[in-house]
Structure 1
């Protein structure tokens, strides 16, 4: 579905540059849980890249438009990344080397007819039960980072390999310190969850922090 953000997908280059931070390894498996009250929002591990899955019914404010854009969808995934790497493959060593440098960003919006835990398996997903106020704040954060066109709708800049995968211009810029994973952690924190984006670069950090938050808000799956 996605190729991930520029920093995390180019670990060999970054390691050579000395950018592999000690705190980014060995975070352990995320927690699969059953939501206890509220709406189940999904933190999804896509390898080196994390995304947020929001049930269509919980999309509000600036994100409510996706109910019309994706009729029949059950969950919508939101991911962040550098425009050049998200929407077009790198074709030279030079492009890989400049990947971590600042540049325009995009938000990928991907519609699903199922839930992420069923699509990717519980080991790749943390379920976060959120209140209506929290999902509203999450929608406001994500929607607030979507650049608007003249019609007031999110500005579409590219279509992915499948029609249910769309790329929209982001207001914020991608930097080494504002990556796809930092954006996801920031979104969860702005929603009101106990998830900090401080020092976040890699997916494992986000999944570990999400798992800790989930442990406080839901109980493990089981009989």
Structure 2
């Protein structure tokens, strides 16, 4: 098991360094925004994984099943990842290697959140604001990431790993170059955040891009 673990450490460290270097050395221009940026979204880092915390309304409009499953939620924390690694109660080097090089599928993890400040307390997170059009684009990309049954409904993949949460079967294949962080970066890019998904392989690179964004919140009138 030790040689496998050593390989995982080397691969993850290499990705971390690569993501850090590209984030700070790759020039990127912020996309202009003209509409009021009054929809607050959050990026949450959890070790090697970065996910999103977004208002539930636009997601519910596209996936009514989530509204039924999480009736009290005002926001959802949503992440995409490897089916084996993400759902594992005990993370092993073998699962990490399988996720990166021989993934058996992917899942969405959804947490219903009713108290955002309490949920974010103590977390490694970044917050920014987008306009409603950007928020709608984010919601569409998130909704499209859920696999659907013949009836067009998200497919249940079992209980989640913390809080009021649930797994669902997802579209897309996880790999060393198509990670949960790249998925999160893709959603942020759809909102106009200056970030390159193809090189956002680590949670730190995604959080760094969010923190360097100039998309500040517009005070409500």
Tell me the TM-score normalised to structure 2 length: 0.78
Aligned to 2:138, what secondary structure does the other structure show? helix
2:87·2:161 contact (CA, 8 Å) conserved in 1?
no
Rate the CA distance shift 1:11–1:197 in 2: closer, same or farther, 3 A.
Answer: farther
1:102·1:173 contact (CA, 8 Å) conserved in 2?
no
1:119-157 Cα shifts (integer Å, max 9, x gaps): 233762211211111111111101111110122111111
Q: Does 1:15 align with 2:9?
A: yes
Q: Does 1:24 align with 2:25?
A: no
- In the alignment, the residues of structure 2 paired with residue 95 and residue 78 of structure 1 have an alpha-carbon distance, to the nearest angstrom, of 21
Gaps of 5+ in 1: 1-9, 29-35
Gaps of 5+ in 2: 25-35
2:74·2:114 contact (CA, 8 Å) conserved in 1?
yes
Rate the CA distance shift 1:18–1:147 in 2: closer, same or farther, 3 A.
Answer: closer
TM-superposed deviation, 1:65: 3.7
**2:136 matched to which residue of 1?**
136
TM-superposed deviation, 1:64: 4.5
Aligned to 1:174, what secondary structure does the other structure show? coil
Tell me the TM-score normalised to structure 1 length: 0.77
Aligned length in residues: 200
1:9-40 Cα shifts (integer Å, max 9, x gaps): x9854234586132335989xxxxxxx84111
Q: Judging by fraction of residues, say which structure has more helix.
A: 2
- In the alignment, the residues of structure 2 paired with residue 45 and residue 81 of structure 1 have an alpha-carbon distance, to the nearest angstrom, of 14
Measured on the aligned residues, the alpha-carbon RMSD in Å equals: 2.8
